[in-house]
Amino acid sequence: MKLQKIVSRLQKLHPKEIDLSLNRIKNLCEKLGNPQDKIRAISVVGTNGKQSTINALFSILKESKIKCNVYTSPHIQRINERFIFNNQELEDEKLANLFEEVEKINNNQKITFFEILTACYFFKAAQYPENVNLIEAGLFHRFDATNILKKNLASVVTSISKDHLDWLPKNEQTIERIVFEKTSSLLNSNIIVSKQNSVNTIKCIKKTILDNSSKKLFFNEDFSYSNGENGFFYYEDKFGGLKLSLPKILGQFQLENISTAIATLRLLDFNIKDNSIKNGITKIESIARLQEIKSGKLKELVKNNQLFLDGSHNEDGARVLNEYLQTLDCKKHVVVGMMANKDHEKYISYFKDISSITTIDIPGQPNSISGKDLKEKFRKISNVQYKESIEKAIKSIPLKENDLLIITGSLYLAGEILNLN
């Protein structure tokens, strides 16, 4: 209860949820003693795959007995998920005390919720100067609160695609502008670029970081992977090849992100043994990224059918999700809820050979599109219906033996689903 009260207060410190600027976070961090200057960080920027890449980095580092702090957003179920120190999620009381201390130092100055959370993270992380910090950049990067580091160990660039276009002028809602926002202010250290969804995107990234003096690694040029047989895949870079067991998480994109994580850690020379990489990737945990729900209230409603949850919410996320769905020989039913500022028609256009689509509302999210309006946007697609709740949606779908049900469209929806389940 104490934690929730403090969170509520912090959310009211600025009239806007997002206000792209670095001044407020810099001012607060200066009052805190500039803790961001006292940490060792790997920054992860991009549109899709940031969380998955961090999960892979974290798992391998833990297997190597290297302690980490991790900062990600948004959280799926609990705000504590954003604050990991010494490999452990910060418990309620300690997180409340951290928020309270920084809140007092901020002294009611205007600052967005994400900015003050970021300041709290830096403040706590500075207490562990030897730990490796895995920091996920938020919206774009150039004016993101995490972008106040003066130095870092590396910058990882995951897949970049069109998203959050409402924050750009109408005539600049292009992949070129998004690449600029995400990569033009990367620090001079090491840059590792993951697989991108088009040759044009790679060209844009290379052009934007041309004058950056960092050592640069690019997927398929400096590191790569290939699919093997019998539960293995193969990773290769200048340090040699690795035969690796497939992780317990689903989707080809996970291998792309895991490969990027391996390339990053090998480049940084943490003296990580091959066995730590091999064992680490088998222990990766991933919430709401092609996650199979195997028990719980909602699982009981689908009985013996498979139930998947995926928080993809933009066109590139839809593309990689459907690459996986196309590998499955079964009928697929989709339940979808989305935020209002997404390209809904573009997102759903990637779904092929779908038996039914059911739109729903996202509870407690004023910035979401209503399920009724979403259905109207999908009106050109056959077999689309609207239901006001996830339970009614599931019960309305005539699942037959071996059918699959996937719930997707938003990480906020994914959190609601996991809490309900």
* Phi, psi (degrees; rounded to nearest 5) at 336: -135, 135
Q: What's the one-letter identity of residue 297?
A: K
83 and 30 in a common domain? yes
342 and 221 in a common domain? no
Written as tens digits, the pLDDT of the chain (421 aa) is: 799 999 999 999 988 777 778 999 999 999 999 999 999 999 999 988 999 999 999 999 999 999 999 999 989 999 999 999 999 999 999 999 999 999 999 999 999 999 999 999 999 999 999 999 999 998 778 889 999 999 999 999 999 987 666 666 777 778 899 999 999 999 999 999 999 989 999 999 999 999 999 999 999 999 999 997 888 999 999 999 999 999 988 888 899 999 999 999 999 989 999 999 999 999 998 888 889 999 999 999 999 999 999 999 888 889 989 999 999 999 999 999 999 988 999 999 999 989 999 999 999 888 899 999 999 999 888 889 999 999 999 999 999 999 999 999 999 999 999 999 9
SS (H, E, C) 217-236: EEECCCEEEEECCCCEEEEE
356 and 273 in a common domain? no
CATH number at residue 351: 3.90.190.20
331 and 279 in a common domain? no
Rounded Cα–Cα distance for residues 3 and 5 (Å): 5
245 and 318 in a common domain? no
**So what's the pLDDT on residue 332?**
95
**So what's the pLDDT on residue 228?**
79
180 and 253 in a common domain? yes
**So what's the pLDDT on residue 1?**
76
**So what's the pLDDT on residue 163?**
65
For strand 215-218 and strand 223-227, is the pairing parallel, antiparallel, or unpaired? unpaired
**So what's the pLDDT on residue 164?**
63
Rounded Cα–Cα distance for residues 77 and 421 (Å): 11
| Count: domains in the chain | 2
- The CA–CA distances, whole Å, from 327 to 108, 252, 290, 320, 352 equal 53, 10, 14, 11, 12
The answer to whether the predicted template modeling score (pTM) of the entire model surpasses 0.85 is yes
Q: Which domain holds residue 374?
A: 291-420
258 and 160 in a common domain? yes
Please say which residue of 252, 283, 314 terminates a domain.
283
Alpha-carbon dihedral 192, 198, 202, 203, rounded to 10 degrees: 180
Rounded Cα–Cα distance for residues 321 and 339 (Å): 18
148 and 17 in a common domain? yes
Rounded Cα–Cα distance for residues 99 and 116 (Å): 9
295 and 231 in a common domain? no
**So what's the pLDDT on residue 211?**
96
296 and 272 in a common domain? no
Q: Which of 322, 324, 320 lies closest to 357, judged by CA?
A: 322
Please say which residue of 283, 303, 320 terminates a domain.
283
235 and 324 in a common domain? no
Residue found by looking up tokens 């410190």 in the block: 13
183 and 53 in a common domain? yes
